[in-house]
Structure 1
Amino acid sequence: MEALRYLLSLPRFADQGRTAYRPGLARMEALLAAMGCPHQAYPCVHIAGTNGKGSTASLLAAIAQAAGYRVGLHTSPHLWEVGERMRINGVPASAAWLERAVARYRPLFERVQPSFFEATVALSLLYFAEQQVDLAVVEVGLGGRLDATNIVHPRLAIITSIGLDHTDILGGTLAAIAREKAGIIKPGVPVLTAAQQPDALKVIRQTAARQQAPFHHLRDEVHLEAAVPAVSRMRLTVRTPVRRYVDLELGLSGPHQATNALLALRAAELTLPEVLDDPRPIWQGLRDVKRLSGLRGRFDVLQTHPLIVADVAHNPDGLAAVLKTVDQFHPPGTGRRYALWGALRDKDAPTMARQLVQAGFAVYVAAFENPRAWSAVELVALVQQAGGQVVGAGTVRDGWHLLQQRLDASDVLLITGSHQVVAALPPVLWLHAYASPAQIG
């Protein structure tokens, strides 16, 4: 696996932060030109946003797959294997394919000097071309305007939400961040957004007008008439310009996932002619999103009594959505609340610590080997400063083994804060949420 080791040795934002961030498209243009411009071999949908873009991408990919498309799905970061970043009909690229592709293009990588993210985006687009996908759904990594994925020319651009994240790179205001996200809007290409804040929405509208791109605002076109929550899923009644959908089943939990589902539904209506006449792919895609797309780490219920949930929420907006969902199924006062939590240094850990404490969680601080991570000592101090109880500090697995001994049937354990926290859980925990070990990765 020498080639894979080389790939993992490239500058990685997950490990090095801003020093590994290489904005601009010159390297991507060089890589893809040398690969034969694989990104021009199939249509795609491009998705940016602060939160929800991975779920929205997975939901849309699942609907397209249910409609009979062979669907490539590029998302990041991965939980366990690099191949998760490039899935076809939910199945990650094999390590053998990656090994061959990296070995073949290593001289090109050494000449162009891409980051790890740029290299994996190029490999995703190459893989989709080689596998002859009918459609690719491509999630932005960071921002949009200067992101490596902005090399694609989509049939639809989606901007899910705008929040304060990566402010050191994208800017300190919602308008500045929206400007970067809106950079994925191409001339004449329709754009669909769920953004709500007036400052952010104004920027997106203005960018669309400047690019003569048809503008679709979710709130204006799609109406959620009813949402009935349940653990691991919910039922939705939705009205769109095409039809009224009664009692749709969504295989994800939380009000935020309802919004993501509406975005994916409307995106399917705008890009997949098949669903205009036959709504069955929408029903199947929303219901079976985890199986069809391979989506993991979004309010995954690993156990019900006690309630054990894993979610990769890594900023205050994302954590707020998860905590709201926990409240639906485990109201305050029902039992004790524990959180197994860690965070990377470019995230607003002080605010997240306050959120957990205010929601009544006692916290086990998870430290992991990453130079970008907040240290255990720092996170302990943040929880204590917020007036919360720290029940321990150590590795994710240490925290899991300690907390499982404390849990009663009426308690809840939330495992959150980072993809790296969720990825470090013992694999056996995922067998409750997924039918077989093969579905875990």
Structure 2
Amino acid sequence: MTYQETLDYLFNALPMFQRIGAAAFKKDLSNTVKLCEELGNPQQQFKSIHVAGTNGKGSSSHMIAAVLQEAGYKVGLYTSPHLKSFTERIKINGKEIPPDKVVAFVEQNRTFLDSLKPSFFEMTVGLAFAHFAEEKVDYAVVEVGMGGRLDSTNVITPEVCLITNIGLDHTQFLGTTLAEIAGEKAGIIKPKVPVVISQYQSETVEVFKAKALEHKAPVFFADRYYRAVQKGLNTSTQKCDYQIIKNNTDTVYSLDLFGKYQEKNLPGVLMVLEVLKEQGLQLAPSIVQAGLAHAAEISGLKGRFQKLGDAPLVYCDTGHNEDGMGQLMEQLQAMPYDDFHIILGMVNDKDLGKVLDLLPKSAKYVFCQANIPRALPADELQQKATDHGLAGVVIRDVNEALSQTLKKASKNDLIFIGGSTFVVAEIENL
């Protein structure tokens, strides 16, 4: 098989949630268990950190991986979805899995895969675990795809679990309240394995405490130990400074991640690193500082409050639900600008009303759509936005939308591109 034929097999032969939505969602771990058994249970051959949550799990996973790599460990990183290339999902020390490894995996296991008929996500998890085991990683940071309890990644027994912010997303699968969603995320908690909760939320705290008690797992609410405050751009380092307060002592960390929402992610990341240190890892403060300072660079993280241009300022972000978009708008609207332009595209299975209500009515909108079946048609998005007092034009292709907006914008304007991971993924110069 060629690499393209292999990708076609992965993407087209089996349904994939990111492209088609609910039809690809399977509430069952049996296929993943069978596939891992066929592969020799590679997930048992390396230490792991398991990361779940609604918002922040991608950034947190990349930060943890970067610090462990800076400490000299060989670190696997499994995340989803990818932005540009399938191989982004599976990395070791920041390097994507080689395409020939993807081809070899499918060729060697084709007969079994054809008989088992696992989902795209199940196959990708098997591929990641097999690659990490073959390359003998010291640690793998494994991000949950959706939920936790029945997510394909939930066949690992990690050294520590991290659960980031809980918000209303994928409610058709995970529940309609924060407590119900937290119950699904809490499904990654394992017997006697420490679990870190990034954010103490009154609606979810008892869910996590009960599940941790059931499994006799130590539980740490990270923002009860650490408080993070974004201080802004450090002009000497061109990174963003965050003040970390613990036990009335202050430490400043400079990050190459600029989203204000990292204030909510950093306590969880630092608490996970503290738990790992208690387990015997050698992580000097200078190592943590260096890893966080270059987290995006080391791990290859893209699309998280990423600046794409100056004069006018252009930012993109993959945040797409109520919590994520609310934090983005708060940070963007605090910036100085003459006119605010928003290039917006969304998928068709989200609660759009709550997100649209968060967007400024004074902004100038361009409505676009990603080239996937789940994309909400741009003209439908325009109509829904109009119903919420947001006015703009339709330019379906995100790159054409950006090109036309740049022609109209002044050097003191601000342009934001977002609303969907898949819209951001199609930006050409990302």
Matched with 1:436 is none
Instruction: Look up the match of 1:362.
Output: 364
Match of 1:196 among 180, 200, 225: 200
Q: Which residue does 1:420 correspond to in 2?
A: 422
Query: Secondary structure of the residue that 1:50 maps to in structure 2?
Result: coil
Residue 271 of structure 2 corresponds to 266
In structure 1, the partner of 2:97 is 93
Q: For the residues of structure 1 that align with 2:121 and 2:246, how far apart are their CA atoms? A: 36
Deviation sequence 1:336-363 (CA, Å, 0-9, x none)? 11111111112222222232234x3221
Give 1:298's match in structure 2, choosing from 293, 298, 304.
304
Q: Which residue of 1 aligns with 2:157?
A: 153
User: Equivalents in 1 of 2:76, 2:404: separation in Å?
Assistant: 40
1:233 and 1:249 in contact (8 A); partners too: yes
1:8 is aligned to 11
CA contact (8 A) 2:239 2:257 kept: yes
Aligned counterpart in structure 1 of residue 190 of structure 2, from 183, 186, 196: 186
Which residue in 1 is equivalent to 2:211? 207
- Quote the offset at 1:172 in angstroms: 0.6
Q: Structure 2: 5+ residue runs without aligned partners? A: none
> Residue 151 of structure 1: CA displacement?
0.7
Q: 1:347 aligns with which of 345, 350, 359?
A: 350
Please name the residue that 2:321 is paired with.
Answer: 315
Q: 1:397 to 1:114 in 2, by over 3 A?
A: same
Q: Shift of the alpha carbon at 1:326?
A: 1.2
Which residue identity lines up with residue 297 of structure 1 in the other structure? G
Deviation at 1:157, TM superposition (A): 0.7
Q: Note the alpha carbon deviations across 1:398-424, whole angstroms, 9 max, x for none.
A: 211211111111111111011210111
CA positional deviation for 1:221: 1.5
Contact 2:367 / 2:381 at 8 angstroms: preserved in 1? yes
1:384 equivalent among 383, 386, 390: 386
CA RMSD of aligned residues (A): 1.7
**CA drift at 1:327:** 2.6
* Matched pairs, number: 422
Q: Distance in 2 between matches of 1:310 and 1:103?
A: 37
Alignment of 1:8-407 (within 5 A): 8-9=11-12, 10-224=14-228, 226-230=229-233, 233-240=239-246, 244=249, 246-272=251-277, 278-328=284-334, 330-331=335-336, 334-358=337-361, 360-407=362-409
Residue in structure 2 matched with residue 439 of structure 1 by the alignment: none
Q: How far is 1:206 from its partner?
A: 0.8
Q: Percent identity between the aligned chains?
A: 35
In the alignment, is the contact (CA less than 8 A) between 2:322 and 2:355 conserved in 1?
A: yes
Asked if the contact 1:72/1:135 (under 8 Å) is kept, the reply is yes
- Distance change in 2, residues 1:66/1:346 (3 Å): same
Could you say what secondary structure the match of 2:203 adopts? helix
Which AA in structure 2 matches 1:112? L
Deviations 1:129-181 (A, max 9, x none): 11111100000001000000101110101110111111111111111000000
Match of 2:411 in 1: 409
Partner of 1:434: none
The question of whether the paired residues in 2 share the 8 Å contact of 1:357 and 1:387 is answered with no
Would the aligned equivalents of 1:51 and 1:162 in 2 still touch at CA under 8 Å?
yes
> How many angstroms apart in 1 are the aligned matches of 2:422 and 2:301?
16
TM-superposition CA deviations, 1:173-209 (whole Å, max 9, x none): 1110000000000010010002332121110111101
1:261 partner letter:
L
Q: 1:195 touches 1:201 (CA, 8 Å); kept in 2?
A: no
- Paired residue secondary structure (2:332): helix
CA contact 1:363–1:391 (8 Å) conserved in 2? yes
